[in-house]
Amino acid sequence: KKHIKKYTRKRRIILQNFKELGISDKTVQTLESMGFKEPTPIQKDSIPYALEGHDILGQAQTGTGKTAAFGLPVLERVDGNERHVQVVILSPTRELAIQVAEELNKMAQYTNITALPIYGGQDINRQFRALKKNPQIIVATPG
């Protein structure tokens, strides 16, 4: 735990914008067009670690940028030229699965990366058709 706290504390002091966190220029431009000027504390603490391939476990209040905290590293590591599922994100609710997929698609709007929500209660044939478009990211919930 000391290593993690030391690492994040060091990163928070040094890294103040999305580019410094390791986010690509194209994604930084997208974030700026969406109104995001600088990363939130949860993003500063988690993005560098996630970009290095580490697992992250974060907790923050609603509206603090948690989706971008894990979503931006996912988008940076996915290969948009590879048309197959590369990431599966599990969500506790249908509403959150839809919301996460929508946010990922907004952040990836100038890339070849797509996210697809999969959840119960939706027409199965519609989901199969959407899967045939080969999204790189699936956001799913059980049930």
What was the pLDDT predicted at 12?
A: 46
Q: Please, what's the b/e burial string for 31-45 (b: 16 or more CB within 10 A of its CB; e: otherwise)?
A: beeeebeebbebbbb
What integer is the mean pLDDT of 97-117?
A: 96
What was the pLDDT predicted at 14?
A: 53
Specify the pairing of strand 87-90 against strand 115-118. unpaired
Q: How far is the CA of 15 from the CAs of 47, 71, 95, 115, 131, in angstroms? A: 10, 18, 33, 28, 38
What was the pLDDT predicted at 25?
A: 92
pLDDT tens digit string along 37-63? Answer: 899 999 999 999 999 999 888 899 999
* 132, two tokens: 């045939």
Say whether pLDDT at 1 is over 90.
Answer: no
Confidence of residue 6 (pLDDT cuts 50, 70, 90): very low
Using DSSP's 3-state secondary structure scheme, residue 90 falls into: strand
Say whether pLDDT at 4 is over 70.
Answer: no
Q: Which domains does the chain have, with CATH numbers?
A: 1-69 (no CATH), 78-143 (3.40.50.300)
What was the pLDDT predicted at 63?
A: 92
CB-CB contact of 120 with 69 (8 Å) = no
What is the Cα 22 distance to its own chain's centre? 14
pLDDT tens digit string along 72-85? Answer: 999 999 999 999 99
* 119, two tokens: 């959840």
Query: Could you give the percent of the chain with pLDDT greater than 90?
Result: 80
Query: Could you give the percent of the chain with pLDDT greater than 70?
Result: 89
Using DSSP's 3-state secondary structure scheme, residue 11 falls into: helix
Say whether pLDDT at 100 is over 60.
Answer: yes
| ∠ CA 122-123-129, rounded to 5° | 115
Say whether pLDDT at 13 is over 70.
Answer: no
What integer is the mean pLDDT of 113-124?
A: 94
